[in-house]
Structure 1
Amino acid sequence: MGIIVTGASGLLGTALVEALRDEGREVVRLVRRPARGPGEVTWRPGDKLADPSALEGAEAAVHLAGAPIGDRRWSEAYKRELVASRVAGTRTLVDALRELSSPPEVLLSASGVDFYGDTGDREIDESQGKGDGFLADLCERWEGEAARAGEAGIRTVTLRTGLVLSGRGGMLGRVLPLFRMGLGAPLGSGRQYWSWITEADWVGAVLHLLREREVRGPVNLTSPGPVTNAAFTRTLARAVRRGAMPIPVPAFALSLGLGEFARAGLLPSHRVLPGKLAASGYRFAHTRLDEALRAVL
């Protein structure tokens, strides 16, 4: 068996599975529906895996499963789902891996730059401690469950991912129609930093981390060129050859429309640098936002 992947049907999971198969790697997808062949294993995040031995012999696991952060307004019930899908789901996977007689060499487990909370305009790397807020607390618990894999001798890396730029959906897919109509605008003050990475670099970084046996612990998956939201807005508007609205969307209007997600997910500032990824020798395909958007779009 080659690589176990959870969340394989998501935006990043789909891209990663394609890249692994292009390299000739076997992939076993953990799916929540009934398995449809030897390349799939059914699991229910939060429940004990029915047959952990189905994962025996895998060389690595990449854990990406979790309920979408920004797809709906956060009710208290949905916030509980966000937590359970990550914390309980990671616990299920790690418990299964720890039972194996021959566990994988490495577990790469998703996390986010939200771990750092709002850091203003300070440049930060993986040495920065945890910040405040719901998402920071969630990332801490999420990463804590993944870290238990280390007790079984599994090299564990947590992927603190920033805003992923993809031409196949995600955040860009949601905002492009507005920008193409000339209706893009900064959010709130526009001074908050957004740390971004292209889908191609995210996949490239994951493949790199699967191979780099000395890298463990948290790794920021962000480009070395974070920009303010205002700069992001201007650059995206130019990329689609439209102007941007001169008046920003006020923070209170975002809060009215999107609730807590706006305050926790859109308005905090994350000026995050990929310290460990760069030190490990990864070479980015896209370091400038204008070039990245041209490549993506």
Structure 2
Amino acid sequence: MRVLVGGGTGFVGRALTQLLRIRGHEVTHVSRQGGKDRISWEELSRSGLPPCDAVVNLAGENVLNPFRRWDDAFCREIISSRVETTKTLAKAIADADQPPRAWILITGVGYYRPSPTAEYTEDSPGGDFDFFSRLVSSWEAAALIPGSPARGVVVRSGVVLGRDGGAISRMLWPFWLGLGGPLGSGLQPFPWIHIRDLSGIVCYALESECLQGVFNGVSPSSPATSNGTFAQELGAALGRPALLPVPAWAVRAVFGAERAIMLLEGQRVVPKRTLESGYHFIFPDLSAALKDIVA
């Protein structure tokens, strides 16, 4: 299978590319600049979709970059990096003489309203209560191609845990030094997924001709995981204490009030359709996932 991956040079893209190639698929990336096994976004807009069997979009500026101030310019960049790239790929698919068989978009569980008690499946409502929920709604709407023969799949991902990037990469040093702990109260739900399972779900969706629609990309044990539980398990995996909470005011000071919601609040998300599809999680348990990552 020939797979075109938008924005596939980051943490998730590297893992997905590795898995796809292990499974015998050819991968071409769409990035800012062309090169070996890649084309530029400008080239895609100008020349159209290259021959491919499937398209995956992973593009998106890092929302939790602590070195970027949360202002209007950054918000516009966050939206453009997701919505406009998705529109570009969707248009290329719609205009293609031979459209791909599958069109997969990875978005986020920010679609669902944060709640300490509510549980959300893929059929739960959401998408219109704050910046991030509206972003996901616009993002997913941009992927719609009426009348297209391409199977449309959306994977709403939780916090991605892995060895070479993502959330863990920013946490390891404080935890190694014994300075780790929960954020805020630590009671907020922590929807998570191991990078190998997120890549696995995408690959499974590409290879399963009958799958389409929305799938939650979170671990089966994610609904029972709080931020405090995550901190304790990470500390245990490293053999370090995790007793120093980061005050909510400090999180808001670094990230801004609106962005801090992603860290201080959370959603209990259930991968109902993902499990029903037949996908078998490699790391359904948080303890095993963290031990694999920090080993």
TM-score, scaled to structure 1 = 0.93
Which position in structure 1 is the counterpart of 2:57? 63
For residues 174-228 of structure 1, what are the alpha-carbon distances to aligned partners after superposition, in whole Å with 9 as ceiling and x for unaligned? Answer: 0110001111111111111011111111111111111222221211010001100
Could you tell me the percent identity over the aligned residues? 34
SS at match of 1:159: strand
Which position in structure 1 is the counterpart of 2:182? 186
Is 1:73–1:261's contact at 8 Å kept on the other side of the alignment? no
Runs of 4+ in 1 over 4 A off after TM superposition: none
SS at match of 1:147: coil
SS at match of 1:293: helix
Equivalenced residue count is 289
1:115 aligned onto 2:114: no
Give distance in 2, aligned partners of 1:192 and 1:214. Answer: 36
Q: Over aligned residue pairs, what C-alpha RMSD do you find?
A: 1.6
Q: 1:236 aligns with which of 234, 246, 251?
A: 234
Shift of 1:262: 4.4
For residues 225-283 of structure 1, what are the alpha-carbon distances to aligned partners after superposition, in whole Å with 9 as ceiling and x for unaligned? Answer: 1100011111111111011125x322222111221354332112211111111000011
Which position in structure 2 is the counterpart of 1:171? 167
Is 1:67–1:86's contact at 8 Å kept on the other side of the alignment? yes
Give distance in 2, aligned partners of 1:260 and 1:77. Answer: 16
Give distance in 2, aligned partners of 1:242 and 1:284. Answer: 27
SS at match of 1:50: helix
Shift of 1:48: 7.0
SS at match of 1:62: strand
1:272 aligned onto 2:266: no
In structure 2, stretches of 5+ residues that fail to align are: none
Which position in structure 2 is the counterpart of 1:9? 9
Q: 1:133 aligns with which of 117, 130, 134?
A: 130
1:41 aligned onto 2:35: no
Give distance in 1, aligned partners of 2:144 and 2:261. Answer: 25
**1:16-27 alignment, distance < 5 Å:** 16-27=16-27
Is 1:121–1:192's contact at 8 Å kept on the other side of the alignment? no
Is 1:105–1:155's contact at 8 Å kept on the other side of the alignment? yes
